């Protein structure tokens, strides 16, 4: 009986399923024109739209267009149908580096080769204004020749993501590999955070286990915040010294990539790639180039009554889910911000918890805005209140971001976005807190004291 062949857009012959997640499946495929093996990632549009991940997918594509390097998994083409988004990517058949480490520690020469390739890729990414933010052995693949390929740029950030303070502020990554300043919630340098993660990877390759592992997350983060780790006796002295400079909990004194690449241990046998960028014609020759990504993703994404970016859509006000980093960083006993800045309350903010759903929280905030003649804008789980009067430092702007701790328990973080701090406090004390008393369970924050009962 003849086997039925599944083809995609008349370009690729789909093969076996390689893996799947919540929103996507990855298949082995063959380019019908060239015969080249590729991996095709199939993403469900409806699912990613429902949870507000379209912008993240766009960012991942933009990033992968920028970082065309031999040690980075390549994105060849983006396609879309009414219901699906398709990534045609480089097929890396050697599996995850994690699988090698799971069998035990690697020899020094082998670990150094992988570390050199990792640093070369990361250095190139940083030169293009891209910060990975989730470097770990599970996201490092090996090709048939044993060369390392950095993958999974879903949590990456572009240079443009930095705020006015020049720092990134999204808390993300994998707990055991994340830099201490990332969970401080006061901003961090994406380059320095990636360097820390690379140091953890190097330790794991040489030791076969994590430097800061602990079943108790709080204890693990305490060790990370202080840089408390112990090298095994088989680590060469050069490696011990290098790791002490990479896993420095102070990002300002942590080694830079340029200095790391001049380290004598690192340089042994290292051969820099002279021309890491692939020729532009490789991209231009694809049937549908990556330049039309917005058209591919946004076509038929939503019905006529719903449009991406519309502040009134349900998806735009979906609350942000708190992860382990966020919850731990909110614990009074584990505030790392003091390690990196002297004035802990430099940004006026307050938090309250509530058992009410996001719709009730938003309605209350809209009522307050109407009474105070503030304009309201709602987007990505944030309610932005903008005053129309000129104060001492311009118009007062307040952001209220809604976080989901559990399905029936939410936290709202209120911050001053623009304007005068005294005017912000007056607004909170005389307008915000009295009006929210029916839905607030408890207040917390450096600029607002606990509500008296």
- DSSP per residue over 166-218, as a string? S-B----S-GGG--GGGGGSS-B-HHHHHHHHHHHHHHHHHHSS-TT--SSHH
Helix (H/G/I), strand (E/B), else coil: 301: coil
Instruction: Let me know if 134 is a catalytic residue.
Output: yes
**Highest mean predicted confidence (pLDDT) among 137-151, 174-188, 318-332, 417-431:** 137-151
Whether residue 235 is predicted with pLDDT greater than 70 in this model: the reply is yes
pLDDT of the residue at 301: 40
- Tell me, yes or no, whether 57 and 117 share the same domain: no
The number of distinct structural domains making up the chain is 3
pLDDT digits (tens, 9 = 90+) for 240-272: 999 999 999 999 999 999 999 999 999 999 988
The CATH code of the domain that includes 19 is 3.30.200.20
pLDDT band at 198 (very low <50, low <70, confident <90, very high): very high
The residue ranking higher by pLDDT, 87 or 285, is 87
Residue 171 covered by a domain: yes
Residue 293 covered by a domain: no
Residue 224 covered by a domain: yes
Instruction: Determine contact, residues 313/301, Cβ cutoff 8 Å.
Output: no
- Tell me, yes or no, whether 105 and 196 share the same domain: yes
CA distance 63 to 53: 15
- Tell me, yes or no, whether 105 and 233 share the same domain: yes
- Tell me, yes or no, whether 263 and 404 share the same domain: no
pLDDT band at 234 (very low <50, low <70, confident <90, very high): very high
pLDDT digits (tens, 9 = 90+) for 171-189: 566 788 988 888 776 777 8
Query: Range of 45's domain?
Result: 6-91
Phi, psi of 160 (to 5 degrees): -65, -15
Q: Please give the structure tokens belonging to residue 281.
A: 């014609």
pLDDT of the residue at 286: 37
The residue ranking higher by pLDDT, 275 or 314, is 275
Instruction: Determine contact, residues 337/186, Cβ cutoff 8 Å.
Output: yes
- Tell me, yes or no, whether 211 and 334 share the same domain: no
User: Which residue(s) pair with 416 in the sheet?
Assistant: 398
CA distance 49 to 301: 8
pLDDT of the residue at 24: 84
Q: Please give the structure tokens belonging to residue 133.
A: 């933010």
pLDDT digits (tens, 9 = 90+) for 17-76: 988 877 788 999 999 999 999 999 998 888 887 777 777 787 778 788 778 899 999 989
Helix (H/G/I), strand (E/B), else coil: 249: coil
- Tell me, yes or no, whether 227 and 343 share the same domain: no
Residue 192 covered by a domain: yes
pLDDT, averaged across the chain: 78
Binding annotation: 41
Q: Range with the lowest mean pLDDT among 11-20, 71-80, 227-236, 341-350?
A: 341-350
* Percent over 90 (pLDDT), the chain: 30
pLDDT of the residue at 311: 35
- Tell me, yes or no, whether 48 and 153 share the same domain: no
Residue 207 covered by a domain: yes
pLDDT band at 438 (very low <50, low <70, confident <90, very high): confident
- Tell me, yes or no, whether 85 and 113 share the same domain: no
Binding annotation for ATP: 41
Task: From the candidates 123, 134, 248, 326, give the one annotated as an active-site residue.
Answer: 134
- Tell me, yes or no, whether 185 and 321 share the same domain: no
Residue 226 covered by a domain: yes
Residue 130 covered by a domain: yes
- Tell me, yes or no, whether 332 and 379 share the same domain: yes
User: Residue 219: exposed, middle, or buried by beta-carbon count in 10 A (0-12, 13-18, 19+)?
Assistant: exposed
- Tell me, yes or no, whether 50 and 126 share the same domain: no
pLDDT of the residue at 149: 95
pLDDT digits (tens, 9 = 90+) for 301-319: 433 223 323 333 334 556 6
Q: Where is the domain boundary, 65, 91, 117?
A: 91
Whether residue 420 is predicted with pLDDT greater than 50 in this model: the reply is yes
- Tell me, yes or no, whether 384 and 320 share the same domain: yes
The CATH code of the domain that includes 335 is 3.30.310.80
């Amino acid at each position: 009986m003849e086997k039925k062949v599944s083809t995609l857009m008349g370009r690729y012959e789909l093969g076996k399923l390689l893996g799947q997640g919540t929103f996507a499946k990855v298949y082995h495929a063959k380019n019908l024109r060239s015969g080249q093996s590729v991996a095709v990632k199939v993403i469900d549009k409806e699912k990613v739209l429902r949870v507000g991940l379209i912008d993240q997918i766009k960012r991942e594509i933009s990033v992968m267009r920028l970082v065309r390097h031999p040690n980075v998994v390549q994105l060849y083409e983006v396609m879309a149908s009414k219901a699906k988004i398709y990534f045609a990517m480089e097929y890396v058949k050697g599996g995850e580096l994690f699988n090698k480490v799971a069998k035990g520690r690697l020899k020094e020469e082998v670990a150094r080769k992988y570390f050199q390739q990792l640093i070369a890729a990361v250095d190139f990414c940083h030169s293009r204004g891209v910060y990975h933010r989730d470097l770990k052995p599970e996201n490092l693949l090996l090709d048939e020749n044993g060369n390392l390929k950095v993958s999974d740029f879903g949590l990456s950030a572009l240079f443009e993501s930095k705020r006015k303070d020049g720092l990134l502020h999204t808390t993300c990554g994998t707990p055991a590999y994340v830099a201490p300043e990332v969970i401080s919630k006061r901003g961090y340098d994406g380059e320095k955070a990636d360097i820390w993660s690379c140091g953890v990877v190097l330790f794991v390759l040489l030791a076969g286990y994590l430097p800061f592992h602990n079943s108790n997350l709080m204890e693990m983060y305490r060790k990370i915040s202080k840089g408390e780790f112990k090298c095994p006796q088989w680590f060469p002295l050069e490696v011990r010294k290098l790791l002490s400079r990479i896993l420095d909990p102070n990002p300002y004194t942590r080694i830079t990539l340029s200095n790391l690449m001049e380290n004598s241990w690192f340089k042994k046998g290292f051969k820099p790639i002279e021309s890491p960028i692939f020729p532009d014609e490789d991209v231009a020759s694809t049937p549908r180039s990556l330049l039309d990504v917005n058209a591919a993703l946004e076509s038929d994404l939503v019905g006529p009554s719903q449009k991406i970016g519309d502040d009134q859509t349900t998806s735009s006000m979906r609350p942000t889910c708190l992860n382990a980093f966020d919850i731990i960083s909110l614990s009074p006993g584990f505030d790392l911000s003091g390690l990196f800045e002297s004035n802990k309350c430099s940004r006026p903010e307050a938090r309250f918890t509530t058992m009410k759903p996001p719709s009730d929280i938003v309605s209350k905030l809209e009522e307050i805005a109407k009474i105070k003649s503030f304009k309201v804008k709602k987007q990505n789980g944030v309610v932005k209140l903008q005053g129309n009067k000129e104060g001492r430092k311009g118009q007062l702007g307040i952001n209220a971001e809604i976080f989901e701790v559990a399905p029936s328990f939410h936290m709202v973080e209120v911050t001053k976005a623009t304007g005068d701090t005294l005017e912000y406090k007056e607004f909170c004390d005389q307008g915000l807190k009295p009006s929210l008393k029916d839905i607030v369970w408890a207040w917390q924050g450096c600029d607002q004291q606990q509500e008296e009962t």
